Amino acid sequence: MVHSYLSTNGGSPGKPKICAVSYLNTAPLVWGLLHGPQKDAADVEFAVPSECARRVVEGEADLGIVPVIEMDRHGLTPVSSLCIACRGAVRSILLFTRKPWDEIGTLAADAGSRTSVELARIVLRERFGAAPRVAAMPPDLSRMLAEADAALLIGDAALAVEPEVSGLEWLDLGQAWLELTGLPMVFAVWAGRSPEATEGLEALLEGSFSYGWASLDAIIKSEAESRGFSRELVAGYFERNVVFRMGAAERAGLEAYLAAARGLDGAERAARGIADDDAERSRRAVPQR
């Protein structure tokens, strides 16, 4: 897909390096950095969520939109209350199956967002008692389901599918999480390695989002055209599905999710009889985890 507003700048001395997610859902967050008063205040580059996290963790970026599971695992510092969240159906995190849910033994996953992969595992375990083996695959639904019992699509790849006409059983994982816990789901936040590394950047992020939210009509028009989506889909996505501000309910949802993910890892280690160091090496070796 064509990302009209997505550009990669070379590094500039004195400017913070920011890695933003390339999916549609971040457009209001970064609009000011690309088109508003905050333009040229930072070097902005784009990647999928897991790659954003890697760049922040390894010091290639000062700040990034990172999956909350990576924020937790690497002890990253949140910056501002801006986030990517939902309070029910999110539309862009979809789980499909060709088998009964409780018989799923293999899950093909778009590894772009590790938070969503863990969310799929939590929902499958808690709701259906399934604990599938996860395999990272490109986000092609037909190919994924040819090799696995279920498939997880994330971001623009999920938005490009009309699940109601797919002929498959499917779940919107934002809605599934709400039904499981009664809480919102937080997928990603702005975060950096330390308060010192991100000092003074909160105002920049808030200014960019304020400009973007005030420019929502322009964003909808631009993003629909560049990504090949209808304006109705993009407008509905921003106005009904995605939540950009973390309030008390979102914080409670985030804490519940992280506790569940930590429990999932602990249960997996206990079941396999492996040590923490082994689990960490395994996690690093498998991109989808």
User: d(Cα 156, Cα 229) in Å, to the nearest integer?
Assistant: 9
Q: Quick one: pLDDT at residue 263?
A: 85
User: d(Cα 129, Cα 142) in Å, to the nearest integer?
Assistant: 25
Q: Quick one: pLDDT at residue 12?
A: 66
**pLDDT band (50, 70, 90) for residue 265:** low
Residue pair 99/150 in contact by the 8 Å Cβ criterion: yes
Q: Quick one: pLDDT at residue 2?
A: 27
Per-residue pLDDT tens digits for 105-143: 999 998 777 899 999 999 999 999 999 999 999 999 999
Look over the chain and give the mean of its residue pLDDT values, rounded to a whole number: 87
Per-residue pLDDT tens digits for 79-113: 999 999 999 999 999 999 999 999 999 999 987 77
Global pTM?
Answer: 0.86
Q: How far is CA 289 from each of CA 13, 73, 281, 286, rounded to the nearest angstrom?
A: 34, 11, 11, 6
Q: Quick one: pLDDT at residue 61?
A: 95
* Residue 172 dihedral angles phi and psi, to the nearest 5°: -85, 115
User: d(Cα 34, Cα 164) in Å, to the nearest integer?
Assistant: 35
Q: Which of 63, 49, 95, 114 is nearest to 284 (CA)?
A: 114
Q: Is 74 exposed, middle or buried (0-12, 13-18, 19+ CB in 10 A)?
A: middle
Place of tokens 């501000």: 245
Q: Which of 77, 27, 60, 81 is nearest to 191 (CA)?
A: 77
Between 262 and 197, whose confidence is greater? 262
Tokens standing for 209?
């989002």
Q: Is 125 exposed, middle or buried (0-12, 13-18, 19+ CB in 10 A)?
A: middle
User: d(Cα 189, Cα 82) in Å, to the nearest integer?
Assistant: 6
Quickly list DSSP for the chain.
---TT---PPP-TTSPEEEEE-SGGGHHHHHHHHHSTTTTSSEEEEE-HHHHHHHHHTTS-SEEEEEHHHHHHHTPEEEEEEEEEESS--SSEEEEESS-GGG--EEEE-TT-HHHHHHHHHHHHHHH---PEEEE--S-HHHHHHHSSEEEEETHHHHTS-GGGSSSEEEEHHHHHHHHHSS-EEEEEEEES-TTTTTT-HHHHHHHHHHHHHTHHHHHHHHHHHHT--HHHHHHIIIII-EEE--HHHHHHHHHHHHHHHHHHHHHHHHHT--HHHHHHHHHHSTT-
Residues 6+ apart with CB under 8 A from 213: 28, 244
**pLDDT band (50, 70, 90) for residue 280:** very low
Residue pair 86/184 in contact by the 8 Å Cβ criterion: yes
Q: How far is CA 22 from the centre of its chain?
A: 10
Burial 49-71 (b: 16+ CB within 10 A, else e): bbbbbbbbbeeebbbbbbbbbbb
Q: Quick one: pLDDT at residue 287?
A: 30
